């Protein structure tokens, strides 16, 4: 951790909704400690209500982050391999470092900088993602979240009807192509073949409908590539309009947990990436089949 964090010791905590569409700050909890069932219950309630939870002033080891994550379900691995071909560990280290550990504006992968919902190229995609800030640039390096429930709800009725039953192919291969990254390797493609999800998915916890789009999408089933791309891009632009977006400005010690079932997110390059290190620990909770 690059700055001193006063981890709270008291069991009393507060949940304060942010002004605006979504998000809540949770203060006064030490996530390194074992949480009692009623506390986990309160966190889950807040998670369903606010979609993004910001826990302030944490100092979690990787092991403690794994334990905290396991309160919410099964931990998920990652298909993407390291340059040496090895699989990523359960705590993935999000960073802007080159192989020598120096900050770089040309990191190994740039997928994070495009709007996406985590692992939508999996048959069973991610429920929640947890990011814990370990080293931050002096300013910037924000993470943006877009509310896809509001995106769906604000579409014209006619569009809602038109897209209601459409299904979309998502793939790791398309994701790499869409983001201008090196093509997926044969091993990655074999490991993670394309999957199909509803374009409008229903949140299993709230029953609300949300757009399920983002950079991992390939095309709409039964639609031409150009027609598909135009539709998917227009829905993604609609749901990522500023009025549906919350920008998280990181503070040392933040742990942010978000709901991939009703949000898109992306990292911002609004800092001097060649100069400053930005390191966050990431854990992911496995979700359920979208419907
Ligand atoms: Fe992500």
pLDDT at 80: 57
Quick one: tokens of 276?
């400053």
Taking the centre of ligand 1 as the mean of its atom positions, its distance from the CA of residue 100, in whole angstroms, is 24
Alpha helices in 132-289 (DSSP H): 148-153, 157-163, 172-178, 186-191, 225-239
Q: Please tell me the predicted confidence (pLDDT) of residue 33.
A: 92
What is the domain partition of the chain in residue ranges?
14-286
How far is it, in rounded angstroms, from Cα 199 to Cα 291?
A: 9
Q: Which residues contact 195 (CB under 8 A, 6 or more apart)?
A: 121, 122, 123, 169, 170, 171
pLDDT at 11: 62
CA pair distance 218, 172, nearest whole angstrom: 9
Domain 14-286 fold is: Double-stranded beta-helix (3.60.130)
pTM metric for this prediction = 0.92
User: Which residues make Cβ contacts (< 8 Å) with residue 45, sequence separation at least 6?
Assistant: none
Question: Phi, psi (5° rounding) for residue 183?
Answer: -55, 150
Ligand 1 ion: nearby residues, β-carbon < 5 Å: 118
Ligand 1 centroid–CA 178 distance in Å is 15
Q: How much distance in Å is there from the Cα of 117 to the middle of ligand 1?
A: 6
Averaged pLDDT in 10-residue chunks for the chain of 291 residues: 64 89 96 93 97 96 95 80 66 90 80 93 96 96 98 98 98 92 90 96 98 97 95 98 98 97 96 93 96 97
User: How much distance in Å is there from the Cα of 111 to the middle of ligand 1?
Assistant: 8
């Amino acid at each position: 951790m690059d700055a001193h964090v006063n981890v709270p010791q008291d069991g009393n905590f507060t949940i304060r909704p942010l002004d605006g569409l979504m998000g809540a700050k949770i203060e006064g909890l030490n996530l390194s400690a074992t949480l009692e069932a009623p506390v986990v219950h309160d966190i889950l309630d807040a998670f369903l209500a606010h979609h993004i939870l910001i826990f302030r002033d944490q100092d979690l080891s990787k092991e403690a982050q794994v334990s905290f994550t396991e309160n919410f379900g099964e931990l998920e691995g990652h298909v993407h391999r390291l340059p040496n071909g090895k699989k990523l560990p359960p705590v993935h280290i999000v960073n802007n470092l080159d192989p020598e550990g120096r900050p770089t504006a040309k990191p190994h992968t740039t997928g994070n900088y495009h709007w996406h919902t985590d692992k939508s190229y999996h048959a069973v995609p991610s429920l929640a993602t947890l990011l814990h800030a370990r080293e931050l640039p002096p300013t910037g390096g924000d993470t943006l979240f877009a509310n896809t429930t509001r995106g769906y709800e604000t579409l014209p009725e006619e569009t809602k009807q038109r897209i209601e039953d459409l299904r979309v192919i998502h793939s790791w291969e398309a994701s790499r192509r869409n983001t201008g990254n090196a093509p997926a390797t044969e091993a990655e493609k074999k490991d993670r073949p394309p999957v199909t999800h509803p374009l409008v998915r229903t949140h299993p916890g709230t029953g609300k409908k949300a757009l399920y789009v983002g950079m991992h999408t390939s095309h709409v089933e039964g639609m031409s590539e150009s027609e598909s791309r135009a539709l998917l891009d227009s829905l993604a632009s609609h749901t990522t309009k500023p009025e549906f977006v919350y920008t998280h400005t990181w503070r040392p010690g933040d742990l942010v947990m978000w709901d991939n079932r009703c949000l898109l997110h992306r990292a911002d390059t609004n800092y001097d990436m060649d100069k400053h290190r930005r390191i966050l620990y990431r854990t992911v909770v496995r979700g359920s089949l979208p419907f």
